[in-house]
Every structure is written in structure tokens, then in C-alpha cells.
Structure 1
Amino acid sequence: MGNISNPTNTNPQCNLSVDFYYYGSLNRTDLNCTPPSDFNADLYVVLPVIYSIICAVGLTGNTAVIYVILKAPKMKTVTNMFILNLAIADDLFTLVLPINIAEHLLHYWPFGEVLCKIILSIDHYNIFSSIYFLTVMSIDRYLVVLATVRSKRMPYRTYRAAKIVSLCVWVLVILIVVPFTVFAGVYISPEDSARKSCVLSFPSPEGSWFKASRIYTLILGFAIPVSTICILYTMMLYKLRNMRLNSNAKALDKAKKKVTVMVFIVLAVCLFCWTPFHLSTIVALTTDLRITPLLIGISYFITSLSYANSCLNPFLYAFLDDSFRKAFKKMLECRTA
């Protein structure tokens, strides 16, 4: 999806300011000029293929994660409750990718105002939900390490409590995304009434509103949660180091170590996929960029990379979590028996 900011500008030098890129796709109405036709043709073919692969792999993998966690009794743990909600968020996003693909192929939005608001809202849920559930998982890992160092039990750390925390995360994300839902709408080109785009359409001055929305996303969707996670893991490593050097307490058992490592790797992959998107926010806010085929290609690569995060997590669980792998294998054996 894109954002409208002076769409009727016909600057022949093809300058782009902060509105050159926004989450989703780079709509034609966002451009002040048209890139080379052969470049457009390549994008027209390549992007639907990439999005379709992400959709198919993500939908299959995350559905499998949801199924295994819900059906296997041994998978009902606190960490897996957060993983379940992460998989639901990723599945929800991959379900709407075909609509994004259709818009890209048609070069206009044919689905109406209501669906536009729903799709753009889900797009933004994807920005916030993954990092917030990973933040909660990091807090949980820190509390587990802290309790282990102090040789204390955690009676409040229950599956039921994890459900309540997960619900709170969903409510928080919904509240954060409400402004985007309000401003989402169908933009009709003044030159061609049949040319419609599903965009964030801000009131005047559009540029200021757009910058505010980018800063809002950068702070709430990246700066605050990532800073929290970094502080937690720094403190966690510090306590583990001190435990080995200065304490006779038992080290984390093998299972807890594996879960902590898995959460850390899932977090690292998430940051790898999303950091370029948020860095593009900083670039868009601080520079005026001249549009080139390379710049458009980079913007689509950044979008595809952020989309790809929704299909990578199931593979990480399969490689890093023995209990998930065993539960999934057992269910396959039951299905084929």
C-alpha cells in the first residue's frame, strides 16, 4: 500500500521526498514520474511470484505451527502460547497477501473502501504484532533466567497467565493501529476516475501528517520494543555470566538453554527482516531522494524482506525446538496411519 502526498505533481526531474515509500507496495500514484517500462515489466512479473511464494510457505508453515501447538498436549507451555499468537499474526497477514498481489497485477484497487481499511490495518498489525510478541517472549526469558539464578520458582508463570498477556498484546496492537485504520481509504486519481488506490490519505498538510505517521511507527514499532529487548538480553547475559563466576547456583538446564537460544534466534531473524524497513523511515524523513530504477528495486526488496519474516519462523521452530519437531512428526504419523 502507499501514501498520497501531492499525487498530481508532475516534476520532470522525478524527485521523491519522504513519501516515496511506505509499507506495502509502491503505488503508481506515489510516483512523480514513471520509471523505465522494461523495469516496470520486470516488477510486474517478479513481485507476484515472490509474494505468492511467501504466501504459500507462510500459510502452510504457520498453520502447521498453530495446529501442532493446539493439538499436542506437551506443547501447551508459556513460550509456545506466545509462539502460537505470533503464528496467528503471521497467518493473518499471509491470508491477505493475495489481495496485495491482485492490486499489483491490476494496477488499481477494485475491492472497495471497507476491505481497503481491513487490509491496510492487517498490514500494520504485521509491523507491530511480531516485535511486540517477541518483546513479551524476551521478558519471559529474562524472568526465567532471573528465577533460575536466584533458585526461585515462578508460580505466576502459567499457561493461563500467558493467554491473558497475549490478549493484552493484541489489544495494545489494535489500539496502536487504529489511526492507520481511520486514515485508510480509496484514492481516486483526478486524471482517471477508474484509477483507484488503497492508501493512507492524510488531511492537509499531507507531508507533515505523513512524517508524523512514520515517526509514530518508528518509535512504537521499533525504537521502544527493540530497546527493551536489547536491555533485557544485556541484563540476561550479565546475570548468566555472574552466575557462572560468582555463584554456586545451578546453571540453566539444557531445555531452558535451548528455549532461550530459540527465542534469541527468532528475534535476530525478525530484526534482520524489519530493520531495513525502519532504516528506510529514517532515510525518508531526512533526505529528498531522486527516483531511479535502483531506488524502486530497493524499496520493493525491503518490502519483500519484511513480508518474508512471516514465513521464516516455522522453519526456525522446526530446526531449533525438539519438542515441536517430535510433536509434528507424531501427528504426521497419526495422519498417515
Structure 2
Amino acid sequence: IRPAGHPEGYSKQEITKELAEDVVGEAGGHNASSPELALQPLYIAVPVIYSVICAVGLTGNTAVLYVLLRAPKMKTVTNLFILNLAIADELFTLVLPINIADYLLLQWPFGELMCKLIISIDQYNTFSSLYFLTVMSIDRYLVVLATVESRKMAFRTYRAAKAVSLAVWFLVTLIVLPFTIFAQLYEEEGRLQCVLVFPQPESFWWKVSRIYTLILGFAIPVSTICILYTIMLCRLRSMQLDSHAKALDRAKKRVTLMVLVILAVCLFCWTPYHLSTVVALTTDIPQTPVIIGVSYFITSLSYANSCLNPFLYAFLDDNFRKSFRKLVECRASP
């Protein structure tokens, strides 16, 4: 979403959508330029790829929600945080068809209330994933150190995890609130667009919004996670472990590995997007076909994160696979 009247403010699919208007409007005529013709395959591919992400994401996250809510053995602290991750991903994939329709229609036909809702959900997706991964990393840190020191964690209960999850959603809601307030309909060249309408000077407020997202949505949670795992590894290496601690409990090792892999995939999907923010803030890059292609790839990569997590659970968690198989067999049996 971009601020009204500010071309440098594009983010996500909006930059490709704006250039799509030129391609759709001119590429069919005799005066179509070679860059516009070069971009045609890209704009044909955009709704197709977004549709695939939507279909895979809805299927995978629905399966995750079904297993975590229905299987009694899956009601653990870590799985509760994974459940919240899946809810965030499911919400985003549910509204992705509206973004696809917006792209194809080249305007926003759904009204201002829906505009605010879609922008809010999009921002929830940006912030909630890393915040819940931060909470999961804190949980892993405490569990591993408690195991090493042969301590019990009486406060680590399912009820406490629910309270923490609600606190995370409340925090993310506060962070997202400014985007909801600034989201408005703006008429541009006779078409209504769902954009962020900032006060004057727009350029300044656009930069503030990008820095705000970069710091709160990436720098702080990623730095926290890296510090936690660094301290945890240093403590593990420096301590003389007894036979019980050396085991570290095989199940806990698998859970820690799963959290690390989910984190790595999340960083792989979101780091290019946030790096593009740094580039947008510091460099004036011409919108060539190559740059537009890279922008499109970065956007698709950030969207793809919402459909990758379910496959990570399936590959890395034996209990998840067993519970899913058992639930499917129960429903299939007469």
C-alpha cells in the first residue's frame, strides 16, 4: 500500500499494480514500448502465483488449525504459539483474493471499511509472525536453560501461554492501529485506490511509516531472537552438563529445531522486503523491468511465508503427522 500521490511510497504489490495499468492500457496498441511488452508476462503471472499461494496457504493452515484444535495431545505451550501463527497466516490468505481482485480490476471496488480491514490484516501478517516467533524463541530459551540446570518451570503452563498470546495480539493491534487510521480511499486518474493517505508533508510521513515498520516489524524482534539464541548457545557451551542435562530431552531438541527452522524460513521470506525498505529510503532507483521484476519477487516471497509454515510442521513434528493421520482416519471411518 502506498501513500496517495507519492510514487516512492509503493510497497507490496502496489508498484506492480500501477505499472500494470500502463501495460494493460498501452501494450495492446501500436505505440507500446519494449519495456511494457517485456513486463506483460510478469503481470499475467502475478494473479496466478498469488492464487497458488492463497490455495496452498488456506489448505495448509486449515489443516494445522484442525489438528491443533482437535487433537488432545497437541495442546502444548509451543503448539499454542504455532496455533496463533497459523491464525495470522489463515487470515492473510483468506483476504488475498481481494488483493488479487484489486490488482485485476486496477481499482478498489470494496469500499473504505473493507480497505481499512484489508490493510490492517496485511499489517497484522507483517508484524505477528516475527512477534510470535520471538515469544517462541523466549520460550525455547527458558526451556533449554531450565533443562540444563535441572529446574522445573512451574509458570510455564497452557493458561499462561494463552495470556501471553493475547498480550501479543494486543501489542500488534496497537502497532497496526496507525495504518488502519491512515487507510483511506483516494481517487487517482478516475479510479478509486485503497492507499495510506498521510498528512503533509507526505514524503516525510511515508519515510516515518517505513522506518516504523522496519524497526518494530523486523529490527527489534530479530535482534531479540538473535541475542537469545546467542546467549543460549554460549551458556550451553560453557556449562559442565551432567548426564541428565546432556540428553536435553530428545523431544525438546526436536521442538527447538522446529522453531529455528520456522524462524529461518520467516527471515528468508521477509528479509528481502525489509532490505528493500532500506534501499527505498536511501536510493532513488529507476523503475526498470528488472527492478519491477525484483520487486514482484520480493512481494511474492513475503506472501509465500504464509503457506510454508504448515509444511514445516508436517516435516519436523512427528506428533503433528500422527495426529493429522489419526484425525483423517477417524473422519474417513464409518
Q: Mark yes or no: TM-score above 0.5.
A: yes
CA RMSD of aligned residues (A): 1.7
Match among 197, 222, 228 for residue 193 of structure 2: 197
In the TM superposition, what whole-angstrom CA distance separates every residue of 1:225-252 from its partner, at most 9, and x where no partner exists?
0000000011111122223xx2325221
Q: Report SS of the residue matched to 2:184.
A: strand
Partner Cα separation in structure 2 for residue 148 and residue 133 of structure 1 = 22
Q: CA deviation at 1:196?
A: 1.5
1:64 counterpart = 2:63: yes
Q: Where do 1:19-98 residues align within 5 Å?
A: 19=9, 21-26=10-15, 36-98=35-97
Residue correspondence of structure 1 range 130-209 to structure 2 within 5 A = 130-189=129-188, 192-193=189-190, 195-209=191-205
1:27–1:197 Cα contact (<8 Å) kept? no
1:250 aligns with 2:245: yes
User: Is 131-140 or 327-336 further displaced after alignment?
Assistant: 327-336
Cα displacement (A) at 1:3: 2.9
Q: CA deviation at 1:37?
A: 2.9
Equivalent residues of 1:72, 1:327 under 8 A apart: yes
Rounded Cα–Cα distance in structure 2 between residues aligned with 1:53 and 1:32? 23
Letter in 2 for 1:322: D
Report the equivalent of 1:265.
261
User: Aligned AA for 2:250?
Assistant: K
**Deviation at residue 40 of structure 1 after TM alignment:** 4.3
Of Structure 1 and Structure 2, the greater helix share is in: 2
With over 3 angstroms needed to count, the CA separation of the structure-2 counterparts of 1:221 and 1:50, relative to structure 1, is same
The CA deviation string for residues 128-179 of structure 1, in whole angstroms up to 9 with x for no partner, is: 0000000000000000011111100001101111111000000000100000
What's the offset of the Cα at 1:81?
0.2
Q: Residue 116 of structure 2 aligns to which amino acid in structure 1?
A: K
Distance in structure 1 (CA, Å) of the matches to 2:59 and 2:91: 12
- Aligned residues: percent identity? 68
Shift of the alpha carbon at 1:254? 0.4
Partners of 1:269 and 1:29 in 2: CA distance: 29
User: Hey, what does 1:332 align to over in structure 2?
Assistant: 328
Whole-angstrom CA distance in 2 between matches of 1:2 and 1:95: 22
Q: Which residue number corresponds to residue 27 of structure 2?
A: none
Q: Distance in 2 between matches of 1:197 and 1:29?
A: 10
CA distance in 2, matches of 1:185, 1:77: 41
Tell me the SS of whatever aligns to 1:153: coil
> CA 1:30/1:132 → structure 2, altered by over 3 Å: closer, same or farther?
farther
SS at the partner of 1:185? strand
Q: Does 1:307 align with 2:306?
A: no
- How far residue 29 of structure 1 moved from its aligned partner, in angstroms, is 5.2
User: Could you tell me how far 1:30 is from its partner in structure 2?
Assistant: 8.2
CA distance in structure 2 between the aligned counterparts of 1:39 and 1:209, rounded to whole angstroms: 34
Q: CA deviation at 1:2?
A: 2.9
For residues 86-138 of structure 1, the C-alpha deviation after alignment (integer angstroms, 9 at most, x for no partner) is: 00000000000000000111111111111001001111111000000000000
Structure 2: 5+ residue stretches without partners: 24-32
Residue 120 (structure 1) aligns with: 119
2:235 matched to which residue of 1? Answer: 239
Query: How far apart, CA to CA, are the structure 1 residues paired with 2:180 and 2:155?
Result: 36
* Contact 1:2/1:27 (8 A) holds in 2: no
Give CA-to-partner distance per residue, 1:250-278, whole Å, 9 cap, x none.
22110000000000000000000000000
8 Å CA contact 1:131–1:225 kept in 2: the answer is yes
Once residues 150 and 159 of structure 1 are traced to their aligned partners in structure 2, the CA distance between those partners, rounded to angstroms, is 22
Cα distance in 2 between the residues matched to 1:59 and 1:128: 19
3-state SS, counterpart of residue 188 of structure 1: strand
Q: CA deviation at 1:218?
A: 0.4
Question: Secondary structure in 1 aligned to 2:186?
Answer: strand
Provide the aligned length of Structure 1 versus Structure 2: 321
Counterpart-to-counterpart distance in 1, 2:53 and 2:228: 31
The Cα of 1:77 is off from its aligned counterpart by: 0.1
Shift of 1:186: 1.1
Secondary structure of the residue that 2:14 maps to in structure 1?
coil
Q: 2:234 & 2:254 partners in 1: Cα distance?
A: 18
